[in-house]
Amino acid sequence: MTRPSPAELRNTLGANLRELAKSTDSISALCRDLGINRTQFNRYLSGESFPRPDVLFRICQYFKVDARIILEPLSKMGLNKNSLLNHPEIEEFLSGGVTQLQETFFPAGFYRFVRRSFLDETQFVQGLIYVYRRDGATFLRGFEAKAAMTQQGLPAGQKNREFRGLLMAEEGGVAALVSRRNSLTTSFNFLAQVPSFENNYWVGYTVRTVRESSTGARVARLVYEYLGYDGARARRAARRSGFCSANDLVPYEQTQLRIGQPFF
């Protein structure tokens, strides 16, 4: 393998930084977030200068990439030009939402969720999900409650209950496309942050992809509570997963779910 020259390393980094910076509001805001002088950052972009190791570390942490950004183009790393979301037919419409969902806006960690049951409007479903970032994108993972699977006549094994999803930044909030293995069932979620004591609540709705029916709803209000990486709170939420009544919800959740009010 040919050893790259210092100039080639600077140019590769500069090209990658220019591409990564497209997902930010402005270069000035990016420099403030990174604690880097704007003039110096412009020199990184142009390939005239190379950052110190500690500065390079901050850049990699901010954009959720690794040090390969000095060695190879982004197209060869993680969420690249060969991925479906970067297909020329949809790149300008979907890929930006994936890359723009930053940690400062929607943090990784555990979330507790609650919504009304689709099949029994007198009950609510609560559960736990884990949000994580990998290869420049944000994902979620969780498991449906055994009781919910049984109620639908579906196998309740762990593999059948697992669901995963892709999250994207949208105007005013976060959207998620969530599915069980082999796309057995799919739902669309939308969430927007609402004022709370710890600023840890997100409220929106979820829509399931089923045919119209005289029984069972297809859309329900949804509440996410951010738990961070607090293992004790996550375990408590996991133990409470499943069906519950409105009285089991905290007053703030009852208010945000607007129990008794029609969905518009």
* 6-77 shares its CATH topology with 109-257: no
What tens digit of pLDDT does each residue of 17-53 get? 998 888 777 888 889 989 999 999 999 999 999 999 9
φ, ψ for residue 10 (rounded to 5)? -65, -40
- Looking up tokens 């497209």 gives 22
153 burial type by CB count under 10 A (0-12 exposed, 13-18 middle, 19+ buried): exposed
Higher per-residue confidence, 99 vs 77: 99
190 three-state secondary structure = strand
What is the mean predicted confidence (pLDDT) over 52-66?
87
The C-alpha atoms of residue 77 and residue 145 are separated, in whole angstroms, by 36
Give the CA distances from residue 221 to residues 54, 94, 229, 249, in Å, rounded to whole numbers and listed in that order.
44, 24, 25, 14
Tell me how crowded residue 105 is: count the other CB atoms within 10 A of its CB.
12
For the domain bounded by 109-257, which CATH number is listed? Answer: 2.40.128.120
Distance separating alpha carbons of residues 262 and 264, to the nearest angstrom: 6
CATH of domain 6-77: 1.10.260.40
Query: Would you state the pLDDT for residue 152?
Result: 66
The kind and range of the H/E element at 80 are: none
pLDDT score recorded for residue 160: 82
Domain range summary for the chain, segments of one domain joined by +: 6-77, 109-257
Task: Give the model's pLDDT for residue 194.
Answer: 93
Tell me the average pLDDT of the chain: 86
Q: What HEC string does 197-246 produce?
A: CCCCEEEEEEEECCCCCCCCCCEEEEEEEEEECCHHHHHHHHHCCEEECH
Q: Tell me what pLDDT residue 82 has.
A: 45
The encoded tokens of residue 119 equal 């099949």
Helix (H, G, I), strand (E, B) or coil at 132: strand
**% of residues, the chain, pLDDT over 90:** 48
Q: How far, in Å, CA of 52 to CA of 44, rounded?
A: 11
CA–CA gap between residue 80 and residue 20 (Å, rounded): 12
pLDDT digits (tens, 9 = 90+) for 197-239: 788 999 999 998 888 776 678 899 999 999 999 999 999 999 9
Render pLDDT for 128-137 as a digit per residue (tens, 0 to 9).
Answer: 999 998 777 8
